[in-house]
Structure 1
Amino acid sequence: MTHPSIPGTVAPLARDELRDLLFAGTFESHHQSIREVLLDPIFDPQPGLNMEQAGRLAYARSRHVHAALERPLQILANPRRLFALAEWPSLLDVASFSLLMVHYNLCLGTVFEHAQGRPDIAGLTEALDELTSFGPYMATELGYGNNVAALQTEAVYDRHSQTFTLNTPSVSAQKYMSYSGFGDIPKVATVMARLKIEGKDHGVFPFLIRLSTEAGLCPGIRAALCPEKPVQGLDNGLTWFDNVRVPRSSLLHGDMGHFAEDGSFLLGAGNARSRFLRAMSRIVPGRLCVASAAQGASRASLYIALRYGQQRLTNAPGTNDMPVIEYRSYQRALFSALASTYAMTLLLNEAKARFLNGTGEPAADVVSLINITKALATWDASAVITECRERCGAQGIFSANRIADYGSLLQGLVTAEGDNLVLLGTVAGQLLAQDWQGSLPLRPSRPRRLAEPEWLIAAMAYREHQLWLAIREEMNADERGYFEVWNDAMNPGLELARLRGERVALEQLWKASLHAQQDAAKAALSGLACLYGLNLLRRDAAWHLAHEVIDAGQALSLSGVIDQQCAALRPHVPALIDGFALSPELLRAPIAQDDYIQAFCKQVHANVD
């Protein structure tokens, strides 16, 4: 008996150019060795585990990744390597992303940022760097959520004993979601707490403390497991401190202050807000890590779904063996997802490049771009993964085929390192508070063809500027209080911030097509840019029609133009997904194999040919 299999071959030069584009020319230097680690049998599927067993397996896999790579402090000194680490392990164990990124970027990253090389905490730093202890990051509290500036955990300083007393003053102040439930795993935590000296509150500072040993939680520290989450069996918990005495060396003060010879603590320059932002500085690169993991999962979902779509046969008029990928309904869903994933990956690459090009604290416009990128990249990945799961039918439900697990991962990523609506709202407020940056976009002339990326970019820029003008005009004319004015402007402002990110993404995708050297890569990228821009134009067609950017006939033609673009893109799909640097051997998903029927039968120990 024969089974459908993946047809055709891909030109290696085009594939390699697409890969180099997606990984910003750093695949071999920063990504490949991490990818190779995941081929180890420890990452083979282990079905039938309960939530605790799955969580402990994630700890074991994280240790394996750590042992195979350079030390965490070396990775922190090379941010591109950190971002690469964020992209890969979750493709095979979604819980491992959270463990590794919290340990590397947030917990040890705070030490790296504010206390690197300090001899008085060398033992704790070494435990984190060697991963003899895992590093939770304790900022979020049960009653305050993402409003970390309002947290209530307190660290009261006694100058005479030169110690701090760490205490949880109320139920609302319990640390929430940090990894504290497995008390027998040694851990050293970075804890955000209010620094209080002689009755005065000096704001939120980071503290490094021993949380647990193999014998259990340290004296004065208590924890309770949070309810179970789908797929991710990690030990998220509620943690509280009962007057825990810690040495003054626990304070990771960096340039936010220093101890005088008499033991008194002197605050550094700046106000409480600036010190708080310094204390939380690892959140900004953390958003790039979160976006990296999201786009990695988005690409993997598309790789699996589109390989399956080339094999999955259905009835069609005149034939009984038509692959589902040939249907326009399938193409519009998944080719559009492919276009947006390429666009979001290139937007992310641009945000990373701007972050890495700066010195010191990132500039305000760079932070805004990172905030937009994190929001759009995670939202888009969530939508892409959902579409891929649905297009794979019942096969998309099984954890063995990965996609459903990626959906669980994205449920956490959309709120990790800042809720997306809050991030975009912050950006919107900044955009509206400042003058328009750059030249004033004019209304573009109506094109003869809608599938023209340069015109689509111009149309988006015009809409973005007009929206900015309209919101500013309404806010300036409103005489109510600030909250009432801003509250009514919130949703249009969110639309403005989102549109800014989408325009930059389309610009990056179109620029990549112009710079491509291989004809096949150039054609594929141009097709993606057209499809991504056309989908955005169709979404906002009512606005463009009302503002005479397009006419009624063009608005009505958009659906057909998008289908034509999908048909033109079809021959390029194998090369586009091969550019992801994935393989059936890596992902171990039955429906991604060259013969999914045989692979699925082997997975369930059924009959095979």
Structure 2
Amino acid sequence: MATSPPPASGPAADGDLRRFVHGTAVTDGNRALLAEAIPGEFFTYPGGLTATERHALTYRRLRHAGLAAPPAARLLDDPPLLCALLDRAATADPALFHLMLLHYTLALGPVLRFGDHEHHGRDGRDEQDGDDGRGPRPEREALESMASYGALLMTEVGRSNSHLSPRTLARYDAASGDFVLSTPDARAAKFPTNTGHPGLPKTAAIYATLVHEGVERGVFVFVAPLRREDGSVCDGVRIVPAPEVSGLQVDYAAVRLDGLRVPYRAWLRDGARIDADGSFHDPAGGPAQRLTRSMGVAPPVWRAVISMSAAVTRASAAILLRHSADRTTLGRLAPRRALTDYRNQREAVLEALASAYALTAVARRVTAPSPPAPGVQPDLQAQAGGGPVTAWAPWSAVDRDLALLKAAATAEAHETVSRCRVHAGAPGFAATDRLNGYRALAHAYTNAGGDNQLILFDTARAMAELDRYRPPPVAGTVPDEGDLASPRVWSHLARSLERASRERLATRVRAARRDGADAFTAWNDNLALAARTATACADRVLLEIAAEACASDPAVAPLLRLYALRWAERRAGALLNEGVAAAGLLDRVEELRRRVCDEVMPRAAEYAQAFDLPAEITAPASFVLDA
């Protein structure tokens, strides 16, 4: 039976842990700059604020951060640096993270990505969209200087899957050279948007279906101010603020466009054009391809959300450890015993740390300056080849790898943060809003940035149909005598489950179609299995990243071993159902988990210290009850 190497310890191990958490892509000087952009005071809010006052303060903080941080174009060209800034925002204030992500990646990002081409002026001359050819100059300058805050108008309130075919329309007015944007009715209103505050300037990236000469040409992005400098609403725009919320606290509103006129340069056309004779040209090739290209702003969002998931999980694990350390209990079985002597609490603390380190490994992978080594993820599509055909949402066609990992990371973060909240007892719920805020953020991004369920369904469909997907190879026998402490065993189990689930799904769908079911019925009857199948793929990728980290960073191996055991426990039903694991799996997991937890517990504080979290996060409740 394979045995585990002894845990590393001492100063070298401490340095190894910090390098694992922070990597080397962001310099110490840049980290100091990010700390100035989001100082300690941003980690709390003063009492007595109304919702409108709180929103205004969050935007002032966003402006401060945007002016103190490196320039926006540099951030967007440097994923590790952008994610480090957003990670600090997420741990400081989830609402600040959300607004910052919208501003950089979903408002300014399309301007820089799609606005980099010449266009023909009304007199037939070529004009540049901006001073360096990277987007409309006034809107870009307003966003980069933080003179206006970015917003996104994409989802429409009245129909699900509205990304696939927005009813908001853009029509070209040849007489003026402008585009006219309109929402046909209230069900096509854009929601949710961060445009509700009445006193703040907002500039939006607007997703609309371009109709030219009576033909739908695809979904394009337009950039336009919605609120002026004083917050007044621009002509052609109607904004209806939403009721106040207690979760992710943002100035939500619905937006309707009633003949909003935008200049030609506001069309972020990505190489498409309308010539002086009215002819339309699009190098994308057609509406389906154009939709995928227009949604191409998503990968920076997914990287940031994966990194954020790791950041809030690290913070939550540290908070739970701080709550549990040196805390005694009065249970009658053993009064005055330490809280972490109880295995349920010890396992909760250590498994939270394990999840934090596992997600950190994933975040490091997706934000790395260079792509992963060949062979690490053998099933996922080559970037140049595009993604699979999708049915439920456009995301997998943009980048199935990142979309799937985003779904997995947010699910893991939400589960872990929620568990930390429960195990922190009443103080975790009532003494501070931090764990509740992290949970709300993770929960929000199970839908935001691409709905997790729809991502899983499209991933499973590609897997079943072998659309740019190859099942991972599986050895004929279980390696290392089935020792669950072995990373080779994790990989074997995860690969076997993925292959078996895919085969079961493909067989069911084929059988349904042979029996005369249409595509909707065949898939609709198997959505639960589809979600399990795609989840198995995501699990396998996460476990193989963790296995690689065990080999390259021995200091984190014990925690990642604990993460794998937690995975085996959570997926025991599927592992047993598919015949991948033998009866008695949970007994083996529990026995090994006890041993690993006892090994790791003396180093729990060291693992948490490597996060280098600001004192504002792990400090006890900031109030005292006088006698």
Normalising by structure 1, we get a TM-score of 0.88
User: CA offset at residue 475 of structure 1?
Assistant: 2.5
Contact kept, 8 Å, 1:334 with 1:387, in 2: the verdict is: no
Q: Which amino acid counterpart does residue 623 of structure 2 have in structure 1?
A: V
Find the counterpart in structure 2 of residue 233 from structure 1: 249
**Deviations, residues 397-423 of structure 1 (Å, cap 9, x unaligned):** 136361111122222111111110101
Correspondence 1:278-357 to 2 at 5 A: 278-315=293-330, 320-353=335-368
2:606 is equivalent to residue 575 of structure 1: yes
Find the counterpart in structure 1 of residue 33 from structure 2: 33
Task: Pick one of 194, 201, 219 that aligns with 1:204.
Answer: 219
Residues 490, 443 of structure 1: alpha-carbon distance in 2 compared, 3 angstrom cutoff: farther
Correspondence 1:587-606 to 2 at 5 A: 588-589=616-617, 592-593=618-619, 596=620, 600=621, 603-606=622-625
Find the counterpart in structure 2 of residue 485 from structure 1: 522
Find the counterpart in structure 2 of residue 86 from structure 1: 86
2:161 is equivalent to residue 161 of structure 1: no
Contact kept, 8 Å, 1:290 with 1:416, in 2: the verdict is: no
Distance 2:455 2:254 in 1: 25
Find the counterpart in structure 2 of residue 56 from structure 1: 56
Distance 1:338 1:425 in 2: 30
Distance 2:344 2:137 in 1: 59
User: CA offset at residue 445 of structure 1?
Assistant: 6.0
Distance 2:281 2:386 in 1: 27
Residues 153, 545 of structure 1: alpha-carbon distance in 2 compared, 3 angstrom cutoff: closer
Which structure's relative contact order is higher, taking Cα pairs within 8 Å and 6+ residues apart? Answer: 1
2:405 is equivalent to residue 373 of structure 1: yes
Aligned residues: 580
Contact kept, 8 Å, 1:43 with 1:61, in 2: the verdict is: no
User: CA offset at residue 153 of structure 1?
Assistant: 1.0
User: CA offset at residue 79 of structure 1?
Assistant: 2.3
Distance 1:545 1:405 in 2: 36
What SS does the aligned partner of 2:268 have? Answer: coil
Greater helix fraction, Structure 1 or Structure 2: 1
User: CA offset at residue 81 of structure 1?
Assistant: 1.9
2:165 is equivalent to residue 134 of structure 1: no
Residues 354, 364 of structure 1: alpha-carbon distance in 2 compared, 3 angstrom cutoff: farther
Contact kept, 8 Å, 1:51 with 1:232, in 2: the verdict is: no
Distance 1:180 1:333 in 2: 39
2:428 is equivalent to residue 396 of structure 1: yes
Find the counterpart in structure 2 of residue 468 from structure 1: 502
2:582 is equivalent to residue 562 of structure 1: no
**Deviations, residues 268-313 of structure 1 (Å, cap 9, x unaligned):** 3411111111112112221221222222111111111112211322
2:549 is equivalent to residue 512 of structure 1: yes
Residues 441, 133 of structure 1: alpha-carbon distance in 2 compared, 3 angstrom cutoff: same
What SS does the aligned partner of 1:238 have? Answer: strand
Task: Pick one of 551, 556, 571 that aligns with 1:540.
Answer: 571
Contact kept, 8 Å, 2:310 with 2:359, in 1: the verdict is: yes
Distance 1:266 1:436 in 2: 36
**Deviations, residues 150-174 of structure 1 (Å, cap 9, x unaligned):** 2111111111221111111111111
Find the counterpart in structure 2 of residue 246 from structure 1: 262
**Deviations, residues 565-594 of structure 1 (Å, cap 9, x unaligned):** 22222122112212222132xxx24xx23x
Distance 2:382 2:67 in 1: 31
Correspondence 1:252-271 to 2 at 5 A: 252-255=268-271, 257-262=272-277, 264-271=279-286
Q: Which amino acid counterpart does residue 525 of structure 2 have in structure 1?
A: D
Correspondence 1:430-449 to 2 at 5 A: 430-434=462-466, 436-444=470-478, 447=481, 449=483
User: CA offset at residue 192 of structure 1?
Assistant: 1.0
**Deviations, residues 368-399 of structure 1 (Å, cap 9, x unaligned):** 22112111111111111111111111110136
Distance 1:448 1:115 in 2: 55
Distance 1:382 1:269 in 2: 37
Distance 2:180 2:413 in 1: 43
Distance 2:548 2:347 in 1: 23
Distance 2:25 2:340 in 1: 32
Contact kept, 8 Å, 1:20 with 1:26, in 2: the verdict is: no
Residues 575, 236 of structure 1: alpha-carbon distance in 2 compared, 3 angstrom cutoff: same
User: CA offset at residue 319 of structure 1?
Assistant: 6.5
Higher mean C-alpha displacement, 483-492 vs 221-230:
483-492
Structure 2: gaps of 5 or more residues: 1-8, 117-127, 373-380, 389-397
Structure 1: gaps of 5 or more residues: 1-9, 517-521
2:556 is equivalent to residue 525 of structure 1: yes
2:435 is equivalent to residue 409 of structure 1: no
Q: Which amino acid counterpart does residue 109 of structure 1 have in structure 2?
A: G
2:484 is equivalent to residue 450 of structure 1: yes
RMSD of Structure 2 on Structure 1 (CA): 2.7
Contact kept, 8 Å, 2:493 with 2:581, in 1: the verdict is: no
Residues 129, 551 of structure 1: alpha-carbon distance in 2 compared, 3 angstrom cutoff: closer
Residues 241, 539 of structure 1: alpha-carbon distance in 2 compared, 3 angstrom cutoff: closer
Find the counterpart in structure 1 of residue 536 from structure 2: 499
Normalising by structure 2, we get a TM-score of 0.86
Contact kept, 8 Å, 1:190 with 1:207, in 2: the verdict is: yes
Contact kept, 8 Å, 1:62 with 1:100, in 2: the verdict is: yes
Find the counterpart in structure 1 of residue 122 from structure 2: none
